A and B are shown apart, each in its own frame.
Chain A
Amino acid sequence: MTKKNAALLAAVGLIMIIGAYTGGLIGNGRTAEIQTLSVRGSTTVLPIVQLAAEKYMDLHANVNIQISGGGSSVGAKSAGEGTVDIGMASRELKETERSEYPTLNPIAIARDGIALIVHPSSSVSTLTVEEVKGIYDGTYTSWSELGGEDVRIVVVGRDSASGTREFFWEYIMKKEDFVQGMLEKNSNGAVKQTISQTPGAIGYVGLGYIDSTVKALNIRVGNQEVEPTTENVKSGLYPISRSLYILVDGEPEGLARDFIDFILSDEGQSIVEEEGFVPV
């Protein structure tokens, strides 16, 4: 009895697995001439490329674009070593990367503002770049020091492989260390998630991630309070901004070329705008 039942179960399991495989193989057989493009890198650039890829794949049924995150460093390394076709980076190439992969070719596809976001309940709505640095290096620990309530500041940042962090560290922190108690999140979405749930928290994300669950802070430049909007990034008024790149080894060819052209086309750039970035 037992033996038969066990054997039966094993057989069913095996058939299921085999079925799954052959199902996949038959399915693939039908579309054998599928062309594949692999993309990897910055999670900031990922939404643009992902949505562009979805549109592109709708137009070209035989194209499979595989996208994964990992951060700008991984994007540069993967594209430089040829493990992927296209890399994504939310910063310029570092010196070390340029010397290691001399043929790596960054193509700017959008501009991005970095917004400081706080919990919607916060009464603080404007900071200067220096104050932001003060928060992230631990000079300020309570919002009362910046004109807000007496609430402890919960500093939220990105993990060490993030291009956004790299940019923030160079541009805002002037390469000084972050305060030690900073919560480290491994993506823009995770930062936003935490900020939206945590009164007293501050974090930085790309403009595309701003929505009603968080409050984006204005940056005071001189006497002017500049809102983090695409217009202000485009006009150069908003001070914390950078270019987003996709990286290819040498001159892109074939499918890669076509896909990049699509991103740079009006249709692609409208995706850029929809996601809250600034077209180039």
Chain B
Amino acid sequence: MAAEIKNPFQGTGGRRIVERGIERSLLISGTVAVIVVFFIILYLFRDAYPAFRNIGLGKILTGMKWNPAGEPPSYGAYPLIVGTVLVTLGAMAFSIPLGIGSAIFISEISPSRLKTGFKFLTELLSGIPSVVYGFFGLVIMTNWLRIAFDQPTGESWLAGSILLGIMALPTIISVSEDAISSVPTDYKEASLAVGATRWQTIRRVVVPSALSGITAAIILGMGRAIGETMAVMMVTGNAAILPEPIMNVFSPIRTITGTLGIEMGEVAAGSSHYHALFALAVILFIIVLLVNSSALFILMKLSERFRPSGKKSLFQIPKIVAPLLKKVLWGAVALLVVYYAYVRGGTRGGLEAVVLLAFSLALLTFLARKSSPRQGQKIVFSAISGSMAVVMVLLGVILYYIVVKGIPAISWDFLTQPPRDLGRAGGIFPAIMGTLYLIGGAMLIAIPPGVGAGIYLSEYAREGKITRLIRAGIDNLNGTPSIVFGLFGFAFLVLYLDLGISLLAGMITLGFMVLPTIVRTTEEAVKSVPQSMREASLAVGATKWQTIRRVVVPPAAPGVITGVILSVGRAAGETAPIIFTAVVFSQRFLPHSPMEPVMALPYHLFVLTTSVPDSLHNAYGTALVLLIVVLMIYAAATVIRLRYRRTVRR
């Protein structure tokens, strides 16, 4: 890379103007990104305010009945909030052990040759669009659950939790894997040198050192689960009730996001129902904000910890907290078990299941304790490998169903013809093109301010309160549920700016949605360019902008492009942001102006699945095409990143 640095010529007056102009324009693009961030937040609150004023915050938070169509309507969000919390907890109960087990497997146990493969497969799981998960859940999984547990319906809390658990897995695995891998090798070597087994090293040295990273992974996964809309809405049954008894995982349940997804597109703007939905969005936003902020806080502490200059005191915090946390956790588990056994005692299977679970856990602990360290290691390692196997099986099952059942639907006509007979026959051409239009436009809108803001934050902005505030705002928007963007797009672009349901409104909404990701990945990529290269360039007389353009941006480009491509993949698979802003059920032609609505693959799949009977054949085909489109985008990103890593190592 260094060879490409040409000695640039001096700094004349004209140069200085150019320099200043570029800094200004980067500042402007940064400002645009930030304004967008805060504007979205402001607008949400603005439209939620009438609900808080007229209904009252207390009544919304504690009201037991959500019935906006009743006479009089009631807007009690308590069952929805509880539903959101329960579904998320259920998802975590299932994805935390699996995710951490898989992360340990990838970084510590698997042969190093296979590591990249496992990582790629895990990322594949995150590339599956949420509507495809929902489709799989509704068509296949709920039926399995109903038969396996002999329940009246499989559409339940459990179904939602399983699906969300799977969707949170990639986040948990990759973030905790990063944390585990970044534990200095000295630690491990020291432990192994004094005769500890590999498992003892992992348990006593590696995992404790990576604990805050793993915690952050869990919290980020949780944020992902809380904000998920389409998959949850398709499998939870959407009855706004509290489960009876509260631990009945087979009860239908309704989440905040599900409510927004179902009701937002069908509500009269300006009505009390409309404002109540915005109030729900604000509640959701705040929940996710709290969850993500705590993850960010922990990650921040983590990065300080492994820095050589890290303050000593930070080492102490986990040491004091960890045992206390352990006690509290065990206490909570014990309480939960007792409570569950007590409440469900009378009902079939409840008590037995708890006893069995407790017994097998105790047995496992006992075996691990009693047996020699080596045998113990064997037992634990097989459990850890087992969790990785479960994740792979989950991925395999989902892909198998979509691919095997999707392939028969795919033909040349399917790809090039408009739909007929409500989508039961004909093809999905307008939907494919619509999706391409949407992501193309979104990128045009998001890349210039996003990349500009990223460069500005990294190269020009002085570290200070304002920069930190900007970064915090962008980070929080990054974790904001996509349905919240959908709501904003609907209220501001479609209604207030009167763009109508149109391609343009969808592009802007998607663009805003991916903007924070682009800003942050650009910033990270640019920052990772060694300071010495900048200094070398400046030392030979290059101006700041010349340095950025010739020295900083080229090595950072692959990182930036990866970030951009990942955003494209995310935008292509999203349904919630476009459902109220850009899409129609069907049209025969492609839009000939940005003011017209489009069809889109994720929405088409959603409609076929939920609204058109006897369209399963084409629904599978659509799911497969969507999957292929998104996975191709992700694969491109992975290839670029792998190449990039190789060159850096060289």
Contact = CB atoms under 8 A, between A and B. Distances in A.
A16 B636 CA distance: 14
A32 B163 CA distance: 45
B589 A34 contact: yes
Interface stretch (A50-58, A220-228, A262-270): A50-58
A165 B262 CA distance: 14
A1 B647 contact: yes
Contacts of B585: 46, 50, 67-69
Interface stretch (A179-187, A233-241, A242-250, A251-259): A179-187
B272 interface: no
Interface in B262-293: 262-263, 265-269, 273
A65 B644 contact: no
Interface in B367-402: none
B500 interface: yes
B148 interface: no
Contacts of A13: 565, 636
Given A6-B558, A198-B153, A73 B266 contact: yes
A64 B589 contact: yes
A198 B250 CA distance: 14
Interface in B501-518: 501
Contact of B554 (A3, A51, A77): A3
Interface in B127-169: 138, 142-143, 146, 152-155
A134 to B, nearest CB: 18
B422 A65 contact: no
A39 B614 CA distance: 23
A64 B586 CA distance: 10
A2 B252 contact: no
Contact of B241 (A51, A180, A187): A180
Contacts of B420: 54
B268 A77 contact: yes
B108 interface: no
A24 B590 contact: yes
Which of B266, B273, B501, B647 has the most chain A CB atoms inside 10 A of its CB? B266
Interface string B618-650: 000000000000000000100010011001000
B10 interface: no
A83 interface: yes
B434 to A, nearest CB: 10
A152 B150 CA distance: 12
A2 B155 contact: no
B583 interface: yes
B436 interface: yes
B422 A7 contact: no
Contacts of A28: 589-590, 592
A162 B68 CA distance: 12
A187 B266 CA distance: 12
Contacts of B501: 68, 83
Contacts of B186: none
B153 A10 contact: no
B613 interface: yes
Contact of A182 (B239, B422, B607): B239
A67 to B, nearest CB: 5
Contacts, number: 188
Interface string A151-166: 1101000011110011
Contacts of A152: 152
Nearest to B143: A197
B239 A177 contact: no
B562 to A, nearest CB: 9
A9 B586 CA distance: 33
Contacts of B587: 64-67
Given A159-B238, A160-B69, A66 B614 contact: no
B71 A159 contact: no
A31 B589 contact: yes
Interface in B553-578: 554-555, 557-558, 561, 565
Contacts of B614: 211
A51 B425 CA distance: 12
Nearest to A1: B647
Nearest to B583: A68
A198 B597 contact: no
Given A3-B554, A64-B587, A197-B146, A184 B611 contact: no
Given A57-B588, A83-B500, A198-B153, A183 B557 contact: no
A125 interface: no
Contacts of A166: 69
A7 B558 CA distance: 9
A162 B610 CA distance: 14
Interface in B420-464: 420-422, 433, 436-437, 440, 443
Contact of A189 (B65, B265, B590, B613): B613
A121 interface: no
Given A51-B422, A159-B263, A198-B152, A211 B613 contact: yes
Contacts of B565: 13
Given A3-B557, A198-B152, A189 B644 contact: no
Contacts of B263: 159-161
Contact of B436 (A17, A25, A69): A17
Given A68-B586, A154-B152, 7 more contacts: A47-B422, A70-B265, A71-B266, A73-B268, A183-B238, A183-B239, A201-B152
17 contacts: A2-B558, A9-B561, A10-B561, A20-B437, A24-B437, A46-B422, A50-B422, A67-B585, A71-B266, A74-B265, A159-B263, A169-B69, A181-B241, A186-B262, A189-B610, A189-B613, A194-B155
Closest 4 A-B residue pairs measured CB to CB?
Answer: A161-B266, A28-B592, A160-B69, A187-B611
